[in-house]
Every structure is written in C-alpha cells, then in structure tokens.
Amino acid sequence: MAKLSIKDLDLKGKRVFIRVDFNVPLSEDGLTITSDKRIKASIPSIEYALQQGAGLVLASHLGRPKGKPNPTMSMKPVAARLVELLPGHTVKVAPDCIGAEVQAMLSAPGEVLLLENLRYHAQEEGNDPAFSQQLAALCDVYVNDAFGSAHRAHASTEGMTKFVKQAAAGLLMDKELEYLTLVTKNPPRPCVAIMGGAKVSDKIEVIQNLIKVVDQLIIGGAMAYTFLRAMGQPTGKSLVEEDKIDLAKQLLADHGGKLLLPEDHVVAEVLAEGAANEVVTTIPDGKMGLDIGPKSIAKFSAAVAAAKTIIWNGPMGVFEKPPFDNGTMALAHAVAESSATSVVAGGDSEKAVRVAGVTSKISYVSTGGGASLEFLSGIDLPGVVALTEK
C-alpha cells in the first residue's frame, strides 16, 4: 500500500514536524559526533521542506537516557553539525521537546528548530497519548523520515499521527519502502537472498519469510553450521545452535532446493586475527569454521551473477578478523559487479560493502538495522502503518 509522501504535501508557510533519526554515535563526554551519516541521510528531506517554504521542527531520540535528561546524550552537538550542513538557515536547539518554552521558539518559514532528546521523557517510549498530543501541537504537518525507528510504536513515530491531519513519509523513508518492498513483494527474477551472521535464531523470521519470495537463498556465516549439522555433517568446534537443528531440518525438508550452503570452509583452532588456518571440505574435530572457502565463494558468486534481484543481510565469516574476511569481501564485489537491483540491509553488511569499497555500486544500502530486518521478516512496522495512505 502506497503511503503519502512529503512530495504530495503543500508545505508553503506550514510548520512541519519531521521525525528524523539523529541517533548518532557520540564521544564519551557527549560533545563530539563520531559519525554524521544519519544526519546526512535526512538532509534531502530537510532541504526539500525548506525549499518549499516550510518552517521545521526536527525531533529524534539519541542513546538511552532512560526517561530523564542526560547531558551526554543532548542534541546540542547535532544542532552544531546541522548549522554546517544547512548554510543560510537558522538552526535553534530547544531546551526540551514539549512545553511553553518550546512553543515560544517555534520556527518561521526557512528556520529550523531541533527539539531536545525525545527520550528525556519516558512517555516517548511509552507512546503516551498526552505526550503525543503535545508533540502534535507543535506542527501543521507531520513527516516521518526515521526508518531506523519505524519498528518502534513510540509517541513520535506512531502516537502523534493520531493527532495530525496527514502523516507522510520523508524522502529517506520513501526510498527505504520503495527498495524493501521491491525485493520482498514482486522482485525481478531470479531473486537471490544472501543470509549470514552468527545465529539462525537472529534471522528465523527473515529466512522463513524470504524463502517464500526468493529463487535461491544463500546461507553463510556461522548460521550455516547449524544447517550442516542438521544434514549430518561434522562441524568440529564451529558455532552451532543445538536448539535450532530441528528447525534447520524442517527448512531443508520444505525448501532444500532453494538453499545454497557452503561446500568448503576456512577453519582454525582459535578465533584470532592472522590465526593459522586451512581450507577443508569436512570440518575436523578441534577446529572451527570461520569463513567460506573458495569453492563456496565460486558457487555463491555464480548465483549472484545470474540474479536480477539481490538481498544481502549478514557476513559470510568473521570478516572483522583477516584472513577470515575473504568470503565476505568476495561476495561484496560479486554483488557490486552484478547488474541486478541490490539491497544491503543490516549494520554488518553495510560495513562489509563499505570496507570492500563498493558502496556506490550497490543499488540501495538500508539505514534501518532492526527496522529493515523486521520488514524483511514480513512484520508490519508501526511507524509505517501509521502513515496516511495515498
């Protein structure tokens, strides 16, 4: 179902509340932003609204202040960065996110008011109706551009939509929904999903949902060893979720023709950077699988090369510790070289394509983390459901 977009709204002279995701990493003293990519991700929506003649109220959480003010989680460093990213526009930072003092600071057209951390109030995570109504009173128009928080039914993402006439998606939210819907609802075929990471339990819902959509599902990372054990293969000291072996057996029985599993493995006695290792087809006792081997890389890369749609979530090995990064890096390059529509979701996968230097060759890298995982699992996101239908 298509949702109303910020581009569908008349913003001229309106006060627009944009729920952004400015949950940026800060230094321990809370004074310095160590990565501003989340701020930059919402700049297109902010600039669009300003160009349309709106006055903006920006709102976000930052960290986990547990319902009370915490100076190390203030939005003040974010405001300072916004001043640099929005030259020519006044950026004010409010002392709170509700109350008379905030009302008195509300922005005129062309101005930006950044509210203080929403989670300084426990009512934000509690989705309190009275708090939601106070937030809604700050605006004429509501826009949600915080896809990374869309899986949370909080006051600023879901509750306040009940007190506004229209709730629209920002440009970032629009793009997330466009690409994630494309790859999960009616993807160009063949459609290949690459699933990695440590645990089957972290990805059960994603696997169960995507297996119904894709033509092939590649399983790598430590979760592959649970499937190999389910097939009766030895796994040595590799990470295996004993309580998920029956689930793996069921998935193999129901969808075995779609699943692609590693045929060889890079193993070592210990998990350490530069550890002595070897490539094996059968994992011996006393050793653990830490990456996929060259045969598996070739098989997975061939599936990727033939695809028209690719979804990737999770690394193929312990890619933070070379030499156990070869499989993940090889897959990153294979996805980048493909002509398919490719969507990368999840922090580790985003990091992998960045380390491989191929981010610009991926069709879309989701900003969502947990939200993108839930979307791929087929779970309705409260912050998306709450938006107005077109």
Catalytically active residues, by annotation? 38, 199, 347, 370
Element (H, E) at 265: strand 265-268
Output the six-digit token pair for 116. Answer: 């203080």
One-character DSSP codes across 134-174: HHHTT-SEEEE--GGGTTS--TTTTGGGGGSS-EEE-HHHH
Which amino acid, residue 280? Answer: V
Residue 330: exposure state from Cβ atoms within 10 A (0-12, 13-18, ≥19): buried
SS3 state of residue 289? strand
Contact 327, 220 (CB under 8 A): yes
Query: How many C-beta atoms surround the C-beta of residue 327 within 10 A?
Result: 27
Output the six-digit token pair for 243. Answer: 């309580």
Contact 93, 77 (CB under 8 A): no
Indicate the angle between helix axes 245-255 and 223-230, nearest 10 degrees. 70
Residues in the chain: 390
Output the six-digit token pair for 72. Answer: 């190390």
The residue among 26, 17, 24 whose CA lies nearest residue 45 is 17
Output the six-digit token pair for 31. Answer: 């004074």
Which amino acid, residue 276? Answer: A
Give φ, ψ of 195 to 5 degrees. -115, 130
CA dist., res. 352 & res. 345, Å (int): 11
Residue 99: exposure state from Cβ atoms within 10 A (0-12, 13-18, ≥19): exposed
36: DSSP letter: -
57: DSSP letter: E
Query: How many C-beta atoms surround the C-beta of residue 297 within 10 A?
Result: 23
